[in-house]
Amino acid sequence: MAALTDEQAELFRPGFASVATVNADGSPQLSITWVEWDGEHVVLNTTAERAKGRNLLRDPRIVVMAVDPGDPYRWVSVAGRAEITEEGADEHINELSLRHWGKDYEIPEGMTRLKILVRPERVNSYGLDK
């Protein structure tokens, strides 16, 4: 397992990252989503019905990359395995919504929210102090 430096962790603070998973047919899947760093994991939130959620329920391998919004030559990527839980997932998406949009999140009916925790197994970064 790998830890993030303070500077690497800081890149997750604006709260957006690219997320790569693998589809059932073995092709790559890519999206951008809200993320945060809890001190041990990159944490994100999706649903069991979306491509990212479906993929991670089948194959938990994931890479998350945060790029400095002001400087694309400063980035950090974290590869690991998703730990997936429904517990607290509704509350978590609401916290993210309040932080980013300043209002409650309207969870569509028939969707199962998933909270995804990624403990870093491999970390790469560029443009950051060692």
Could you list the residues that contact its own copies (CB under 8 A)?
16, 18, 20-22, 26-32, 59, 61-65, 67, 69, 72, 75, 77, 79
At closest approach, how far in Å is the CB of 68 from its own copies? 10
User: In terms of DSSP bridges, do strands 113-118 and 42-47 run parallel, antiparallel, or are they unpaired?
Assistant: antiparallel
The helix/strand/coil state of 127 is coil
At closest approach, how far in Å is the CB of 109 from its own copies? 22
> Which of residues 88 and 126 has its CB atom nearest to its own copies in the complex?
126
How much of the chain is helix, strand and coil, in % rounded to 5? 20, 45, 35
Helices marked H in the chain:
6-10, 51-58, 89-101
> Which of residues 43 and 76 has its CB atom nearest to its own copies in the complex?
76
At closest approach, how far in Å is the CB of 75 from its own copies? 6
